[in-house]
Amino acid sequence: MPMRWGHGRLGGCLGRLLIGLLVLMGLELGLAPAAANAAEVLQVRQAGLLQVGDQNRSYGVELACLALKPDQEVAATDWLRRELPRRTRVNLKPRGVDQGILVAQVQRLDRNTDVASDLVAAGYATLLQGCGS
């Protein structure tokens, strides 16, 4: 039986990668949703990894340009859960895709602040060199 797109291990990985690339391309081309349709945080999975949704899509987003302090990961996760409760509206600035996960700078719309910079200010992480905006 031939492998069909989206079925099996390989198809699932390729499908996730394709979705991530399409999201990345759409956001880079200025096709991102307007402020009224901004992405929303659905869940903080762990320190540096969010589940984000916009309208009918949901995808994982890794915070870009961030090096978490290993001894602070639990505290950083708790901090993110307090600072980014469910339905917090955010803008994403894509930086790439890593194993089907969108890597992006995440900006809170209500505070106009970068989440990674806020984590650094709180003492839970450091910014990586060469990650200008």
- Domain positions in the chain: 8-127
Q: For 116, left (φ over 0), alpha (ψ -120 to 50), or beta?
A: alpha
How does the average pLDDT of the chain come out, rounded?
Answer: 81
Residues near 116 by Cβ (< 8 Å), separated by ≥ 6?
Answer: 63, 64, 65, 66, 105, 106, 125, 127
Given CATH 2.40.50.90, say whether it is the number of domain 8-127: yes
Two tokens, residue 121:
């200010």
What mean pLDDT is predicted for residues 95-116? 93
Given a cut of 90, whether residue 63 has pLDDT beyond it is yes
- Cβ–Cβ under 8 Å, residues 116 and 59: no
Confidence of residue 10 (pLDDT cuts 50, 70, 90): very low
Two tokens, residue 132:
């200008």
Over residues 39-54, the pLDDT tens digits come to 999 999 998 999 999 8
What are the φ/ψ torsions at residue 85 (nearest 5 degrees)?
-65, 165
